[in-house]
Chain A
């Protein structure tokens, strides 16, 4: 057991997380959804993030869920993310089920919870689909086009740009702590001592990291000035030029049409057969 955990932990290196994260963020333009117009995708997402809350018809929810599973597969999401999502959903249900048992419920209390889970799954899968299909650049441009302030949109994309640098530095500083620190001689009960040691340095790493970042950003802010950023922010013409590449194309319209037709058919179906599965 301990060995298995150790092996798993060895696999999760900072380097690995970095690759996974950046892969998820930027490796999307190769998928079908990744090529769609970001504005359209964002609005599409808004629909699927809000409407499930107001729908109690399980057939419709199930239909939406199936659609979301298909889009999730289409967007080639990293298995890690799906795993984390499932873990979240299962543990959520598990807790509630335990609670309901505690208050005298039985297996029948699982069914209503399933409905809630279905709603959450639709929303989560929609988020995953959209945010892994939109790389930070297109997300930022999409938001900007929909009227979100430019400074926010820019910081979003800059945040991603600087992420690898920060992770790299985090890794280095963590190493410094480890190279000069002393791990507890004994692991302690349930590895608690070792765990406490690692958690402690994980927190401590952030202090030097923040100080170094503050120092570094001096150049960045100055460079933004010399690269005309403030000029752009005060100039609506620039924004238009920057976003001029955004255009609804045939595949965008097709995608919208398919969604509308699918959802449109789902509602009458739901009304006719409200209990398709249970």
Chain B
């Protein structure tokens, strides 16, 4: 543990033409066997730091470089990227673009083959085994799922048997189950195979569970490097930088702000279970209206965000009975043709009705059929069997142009939606094509409500992830559709941008009647949705409001999803309802560690 594997001393780097350095006097030591998380807000220099390790900076990106890099005790000066890369495996955030060969085995052997290692095939096979991809060697890259591609990128790096693995945002594009799978593999590599691992990570819950130490970057400087507990319990400092520690840790700060300095906060639900307890007088927000008892009522019901609680659900049920459904799907089946000319069933026997005013979350793991279902509603694909109706019109196989006034579909990758050269042009495209009279006002209004006024003349492709997302939503809203379908709107966003998304979604009100979101981001679901549809293997396995879906812990696991920490804590502590926000939770739970223990729960 004490041998320094890699040392940066006083490294500064400025991109050519840039005024400010991206790295400023960074000194950093990577110990053999460590598992480090690099955190920091956007643009704080996380990726730049990691690109120094294998010499991409300063050899590939030239600029003003000062300081020294030592790898395995030797100075890296004069060594090329390809030489340093023998010891450092790098997995990119957009890992798909680092897969350059057509088949899995070819790709995993690519690096050792390039270095002229005669046993490249054995190395490749072993790397596939380590990542659980054995048996997929002959598959083509484009037939793999997102999770498998990521594992393959990792395997490609592992094939060189490097000392250090750098992984940029390992779980950004994965559903919770695959995210955990990737981290379990990383942990095994770290513990059993002695690999030193560096991840750039936004998800504090994974950091808490898997990493050993944390490096905080801030404005190009390395602010500190601390063991994981010490790092994540500095809640206020992290929050100030827009980094969100685990929910239980934040709840602890709200309940006992005085304990922060001592670092005595729980990091996981396991710990939280021992440290928190159910408040003796905790009453569910839903029960609170019927029975007027207790002092925390006010707090609890104020905390419950509007639209939660079973009243909203009841209202929805009433309006449902009266109104015609916006979307009606009957006995939908869908299969795809594969390259081997066989039929791959994707959806089987789906019956579904969606109503005006609903905020529907479509959840399930990758490959459960969420996107396919939404594409059917948008008329992008025609069902193999059954009918889809939107506002009474049958859409099977209707050309998308005819449907576009009723449905808008926001792709998972915003770049696929950018067809004009400015944000304004993107939003106006639909309105222009229809020569609508109030075009200019509508564009202004949308720019305003999605906070895009300042970006209006810029090319959407060059914006940040969160900004691109806002543009794509505004594009969808410009259509003023009856149904808006969003595919993974929070994928690839950092946590603070994610938090913002809920507010952006609010901006859709008034433009859209029904919103459907396909996602595996449970925090978003908990905060936003009024109706949750759970899908698994091409079928709907549950459909209901938050209480019904979230109170069944088994259900989420069966669908390959993970509860948020607050949900899990609510269940572990036997709280009267499943909490979806910190306020709700802190109104019902209390600090217990080291204090008198009340009887009852647990």
Q: Is A249 an interface position by the 8 A CB rule?
A: no
Contact digits for B141-159, partner A, Cβ 8 Å, 1 yes 0 no: 1100000000000001000
Distance between Cα atoms of A208 and B80 in the complex (Å)? 35
Assess whether B101 is in contact with A228, with CB atoms less than 8 Å apart: no
CA distance A175 to B487 in the complex (A): 15
The distance in angstroms between the C-alpha atoms of A216 and B95, with both chains bound, is 10
CB contact between B378 and one of A22, A157, A179, A238 (< 8 Å): that residue:
A179
Asked if B319 CB lies within 8 Å of chain A CBs, one says: no
Residue B300, interface by CB 8 Å? no
Residue of A nearest to B116 (CB): A238
Judge whether B102 and A225 touch: CB under 8 Å: no
Residue A41 interfacial (CB < 8 Å): no
A161 contact from B113, B141, B378, Cβ within 8 A: B141
Residue B591 is within 8 A (CB to CB) of chain A in the complex:
no
Q: Are B419 and A173 in contact (CB under 8 A)?
A: yes
Residues of A with C-beta under 8 A to B141: 161
The complex places the Cα of A172 from the Cα of B158 at a distance, in Å, of: 33
> Of A183, A211, A217, which one neighbours B399 at CB under 8 angstroms?
A183
Q: Whole-angstrom distance between the alpha carbons of A235 and B425 in the complex?
A: 50
A235/B116 in contact, CB under 8 A? yes
Task: Please give, as numbers and ranges, the residues of chain A lying within 8 Å of B399 by CB-CB distance.
Answer: 178, 183
CA distance A27 to B338 in the complex (A): 12
Q: In A114-163, which residues have CB < 8 Å from any B CB?
A: 136-137, 157-158, 160-161
**By the criterion CB–CB under 8 Å, are B430 and A232 in contact?**
no
Cβ < 8 Å to A, chain B residues 391-427: 397, 399-402, 404, 408-409, 411, 413, 415-419
Query: How far does the Cβ of A21 sit from chain B's closest Cβ, in whole Å?
Result: 10
Asked if A157 meets B111 with Cβ closer than 8 Å, knowing A211-B461, A222-B56, A231-B82, the reply is no
- Whether A225 pairs with B404 at a CB distance below 8 angstroms is no
In the complex, A259 has a CB within 8 A of chain B: no
Find chain A residues with CB under 8 A from B92 CB.
219, 222-223
Q: How many residues does chain A have at the interface if contact means C-beta atoms less than 8 Å apart?
A: 55
**A180 contacts B475, CB within 8 Å?**
yes
Q: Does the CB pair A217–B97 fall under 8 Å?
A: yes
CB neighbours of A228 from chain B (8 A): 82, 85-86, 111, 114-115
Contact, CB under 8 Å: A219 / B97: yes
Taking a contact as CB atoms under 8 Å apart, the answer to whether B114 and A227 are in contact is yes
- Report B420-441 CB contacts with A as 1/0, cut-off 8 Å: 0000000001100110000000
**For the complex, what is the distance from the CA of A180 to the CA of B408, rounded to whole Å?**
9
Q: Is the CB of A241 within 8 A of B401?
A: no
In the assembled complex, the Cα of A173 lies from the Cα of B400 at a distance in Å of 13
Q: Provide the residues of chain B in CB contact with A27, threshold 8 Å.
A: 339
User: Within residues 210 to 249 of chain A, which ones have a CB less than 8 A from any CB in chain B?
Assistant: 211-212, 215-217, 219-220, 222-232, 235, 237-238, 241-242
B81 at the interface (CB under 8 A from A): yes
| Residue of chain B at shortest CB distance from A219 | B97
* A176 close to B416 (CB less than 8 A): yes
List chain B residues, Cβ under 8 A from A212: 415-416, 461
Q: In the complex, A181→B142 CA distance in Å?
A: 29
Answer whether residue A97 sits at the interface, using C-beta atoms and an 8 A cutoff. no
Interface assignment of B90: CB less than 8 Å from any CB of chain A? yes
Chain B residue nearest to A169 (CB atoms) is: B416
Given A26-B140, A157-B102, A172-B413, A179-B408 contact (CB < 8 Å):
yes
Cross-interface CB contact of B419 among A208, A216, A223, A242, cutoff 8 Å: A208
Q: Does A165 contact B (CB under 8 A)?
A: yes
CA distance A16 to B338 in the complex (A): 10
Given A225-B56, A225-B85, A230-B82, A216:B101 Cβ within 8 A: no
Q: Which residue of A lies closest to B472 (CB)?
A: A176
**A241, B247: Cα distance in complex, Å:** 53
- As a 0/1 sequence over residues 105 to 133 of chain B, the CB contacts with chain A under 8 angstroms (1 = contact) are 01000110111101010000000000000
Contact B106 A137 (CB under 8 A): yes
Chain A window 1-24, contacts with chain B (Cβ cutoff 8 Å), 1 for yes, 0 for no: 000000000100001100100110
**A175 / chain B contacts, CB cutoff of 8 Å:** 380, 400, 416
Is the beta-carbon distance between B115 and A165 smaller than 8 angstroms? no
Give min CB distance, B155 to chain A, whole Å: 12
Residues 67-123 of A at the B interface (beta carbon under 8 Å): none
* Complex contact B97–A223 (CB within 8 A): yes
Closest residue of chain B to A228, judged by CB? B114
Q: Does B598 make an interface contact (CB < 8 A)? A: no
| B100 sits at the interface (CB 8 A) | yes
Q: Which residues of A contact B98 (CB under 8 A)?
A: 219-220, 223, 227
Flag whether A48 is at the interface (Cβ < 8 A). no
Most chain A CB inside 10 Å of its own CB: which residue of B82, B140, B141: B82
- Distance in angstroms from A165 CB to nearest chain B CB is 7
Q: Determine if A220 and B82 form an interchain contact, defined as CB atoms under 8 angstroms apart.
A: no
Q: B190 at the A/B interface (Cβ < 8 Å)?
A: no
Q: B101 near A161 (CB under 8 angstroms)?
A: yes
Among A15, A177, A241, max chain B CB count under 10 A is at: A241
Within the assembled complex, what's the spacing in Å between the Cα atoms of A208 and B422? 12
Asked if A232 contacts B114 (CB within 8 A), the reply is: yes
A175 nearest CB across to chain B (Å): 6
Q: How far is the CB of A138 from chain B (nearest CB, A)?
A: 11
Asked if B337 is at the interface of the complex by the 8 Å CB criterion, the answer is yes
Distance A228 CA – B81 CA, assembled complex (angstroms): 8
Q: Report yes or no: B85 in contact with A208, Cβ–Cβ below 8 A.
A: no
Q: Does B580 contact A (CB under 8 A)?
A: no
Within B309-341, the residues touching A (CB, 8 Å) are: 336-339, 341
Task: Decide: A180 near B97, CB < 8 A? Known: A226-B85, A226-B90, A230-B82.
Answer: no
Contacts A157-B102, A212-B415, A226-B81 given; indicate if A238 touches B339 (C-beta within 8 A).
Answer: no
The answer to whether B90 and A180 have CB atoms under 8 Å apart is: no
Residue of A nearest to B401 (CB): A183
Interface residues of B in 211-261 (CB under 8 A from A): none
Q: Most chain-A Cβ atoms within 10 A of its Cβ — which of B85, B102, B402, B417?
A: B102
Known: A208-B418, A219-B98. 5 other contacts (CB 8 A): A179-B378, A182-B433, A220-B97, A227-B111, A241-B116
Query: Please, could you name 22 A-B residue pairs with CB atoms under 8 Å apart, sorted by A?
Result: A137-B106, A160-B102, A169-B416, A175-B416, A176-B416, A178-B401, A179-B378, A179-B380, A179-B408, A180-B433, A180-B475, A181-B433, A183-B402, A205-B419, A211-B461, A223-B92, A227-B111, A228-B85, A229-B114, A231-B82, A232-B113, A238-B114
- Give me the 4 closest cross-chain CB pairs, A-B, nearest first: A223-B98, A228-B114, A232-B114, A172-B416
Residues of B whose CB lies within 8 Å of any CB of A are 54, 56, 60, 80-83, 85-86, 88, 90, 92, 94, 96-103, 106, 110-111, 113-116, 118, 120, 140-142, 156, 336-339, 341, 378, 380, 397, 399-402, 404, 408-409, 411, 413, 415-419, 429-430, 433-434, 461, 475, 479
